[in-house]
Amino acid sequence: MRRVRRTKILATLGPASENPEMIAKLFQAGADVFRLNMSHLARERLPERVEMIRAVEAKFKRPIAILADLQGPKLRVGTFEGDSAMLVKGQSFTLDADQTPGNEKRVYLPHPEILSSLEPGHTVLIDDGKLRLRVKSVKSGAAVTEVEVAGKISNRKGVSLPDTVIPVAAMTEKDRSDLEAALDAGVDWIALSFVQRPEDVAEVKKVARGRALVMSKLEKPQAIARLDEIVEISDAVMVARGDLGVEMPLEKVPGIQKLIVRTARKLGKPVVVATQMLESMITSPVPTRAEVSDVATAVYDGADAVMLSAESASGQYPVEAVATMNRIAEEIEQDQSYWSIIKTQGSAPEATGSDAIAAGAHQIADTLHVKTITAWTSSGSTAFRIARERPNSTVVALTPNHNTARRLALVWGVHPIRTKDASDVDDMAFRACKFAVREGFSQISDRIIIVAGVPFGTPGATNMVRIAFISQEHAAQA
């Protein structure tokens, strides 16, 4: 199951794809990571889904990453007399703490922390931005707004607050229970929704304690305002364009996407581009030309992964959607302008020995036209650093840890393999050459680059780079 592309594909599982046969088909079509959306998956059913994916992993003998996506705080209005009301542009409409059913003049907002945080001039969006209110005044337990974009408002519609920092954590009680269930089930990545501040991420990492890595979903203006801090503390980030496009003007989203991807690449953190990438394939076997260009843009930008949501979870053509995304990524990475764009977006390595070694391996690979860089890694940090450089070589990550191999399935250009740790420098070189041949990335008389840390098995101790020649003996052992 050797992939010929470097950009990874993340597929969401759902009603259309939650059986072992379909999961296997999605993996064969190109999925590297499977997303379990906790907004729709009961935590009691989570272990069963994880076991299905692990069975596919065992069948194909390739590490597969599992991402559990926490729902996050869902803000909603209360109910209405007759289930709905019609708002007229320019009228006053009050959000209050009165639990009685609402009407065309007011409605209950069951979030006192919002009422205490709203200020005059703040925007309140209802139902994914279909209605827009502007706060005129705030008093105890109520906010009086003016309707700027009118329409029908009905029971339990969602509320978005692009101007307001909400004094609540990104994790709800449901998220805490889901997080513990996901960690117990052995998922590899946790996606945290509606991140506003670095402290939100720190809270999840404190609970995870390294049992899974944490991916921050960037979908609020408050997160963009503190982007560097959030990316720095996160293990990976996601450009969650759905809610981002609700809380910010749509025309700003493409620029923000590029900003997030550049920032993540600069700081060496994997970045996923998500939402509506092949939306039309929910009901059509082929995408629109605009959707193909959208996926291509993310690949040209050097994103680590592109994600399918409803396309693979509930669409009519889940396998075709993954296969289409796979073909787009493969084709773009063969385009003559791809590497020139990737290189111009690079940044200087951090002032650490490990980053200097990774940058040096990239430079040597470019100079000698080496096809394979082999990284011996315990925690995965060596492979992360090399991938940050976006080398025109496949990064074969050799690790003794199951968890590390699975986590690296998300990372750009990394082909993870679980194997026992090297016993000495000669063993390290011999087996690196053997795996490069066995996996089909190199052949006899090729040179490969080996990056490792000595002493072996010490996380974060990347301090050695070596060039090795592949001999007949290596090929015979492969």
Q: What is the pLDDT of residues 160-193, one digit of tens each?
A: 999 998 877 779 999 999 999 999 999 999 999 9
Whether 3 is catalytic is no
Q: Which amino acid is at 418?
A: R
Q: Is the pLDDT of residue 155 over 80?
A: yes
Model confidence band, residue 346 (pLDDT cutoffs 50, 70, 90): confident
Mean pLDDT, the chain, rounded, equals: 94
Give the integer Cα–Cα distance in Å for 191 and 170.
Answer: 11
Residue 182, pLDDT score: 98
Q: Is the pLDDT of residue 361 over 90?
A: yes
Tokens found for residue 290: 């605009």
Tokens found for residue 151: 């329409």
Looking at residues 305-323, what average pLDDT do you find? 98
Close Cβ partners of 385 (under 8 Å, ≥ 6 residues apart): 268, 354, 355, 357, 358, 462
Tokens found for residue 354: 């490990």
Whether 35 is catalytic is yes
* DSSP tag of 301: T
Q: What is the CATH number of domain 353-477?
A: 3.40.1380.20
Model confidence band, residue 120 (pLDDT cutoffs 50, 70, 90): very high
Residue 478, pLDDT score: 67
Q: Is the peptide bond before 455 cis (omega within 30 degrees of 0)?
A: yes
Give the integer Cα–Cα distance in Å for 281 and 178.
Answer: 30
Shortest CA distance to 48 belongs to which of 60, 36, 39?
Answer: 36
Angle among Cα 303, 15, 65 to the nearest 5 degrees reads: 35
Close Cβ partners of 313 (under 8 Å, ≥ 6 residues apart): 12, 13, 14, 15, 16, 17, 37, 40
* Catalytic option among 25, 43, 54, 76: 76
Q: Which amino acid is at 251?
A: E
* Catalytic option among 49, 217, 385, 431: 217
* Catalytic option among 263, 275, 374, 404: 275
Residue 265, pLDDT score: 94
Residue 457, pLDDT score: 67
Q: Where are the domains of the chain?
A: 8-72+170-332, 81-160, 353-477
Q: Which CATH number fits domain 81-160: 2.40.33.10, 3.30.365.10, 1.10.10.10, 3.30.450.40?
A: 2.40.33.10
Q: Is the pLDDT of residue 82 over 70?
A: yes
Q: Is the pLDDT of residue 460 over 70?
A: no
Whether 76 is catalytic is yes
Residue 351, pLDDT score: 82
Give the integer Cα–Cα distance in Å for 359 and 362.
Answer: 5
Torsion over CA: 46, 50, 52, 53 (sign): positive
* Catalytic option among 3, 5, 8, 35: 35
Q: Residue 14 in contact with residue 22, Cβ under 8 Å?
A: no
Give the integer Cα–Cα distance in Å for 292 and 271.
Answer: 19
- Residue whose tokens read 């490069």: 436
Q: Is the pLDDT of residue 1 over 70?
A: no
Q: Is 447 helix (H, G, I), strand (E, B) or coil?
A: strand
Give the integer Cα–Cα distance in Å for 191 and 416.
Answer: 21
Looking at residues 37-50, what average pLDDT do you find? 96
Instruction: Read off the pLDDT of residues 231-260 as tens digits, 9 standing for 90 and up.
Output: 999 999 999 999 999 999 999 999 999 999
Whether 217 is catalytic is yes
Q: What is the CATH number of domain 8-72+170-332?
A: 3.20.20.60
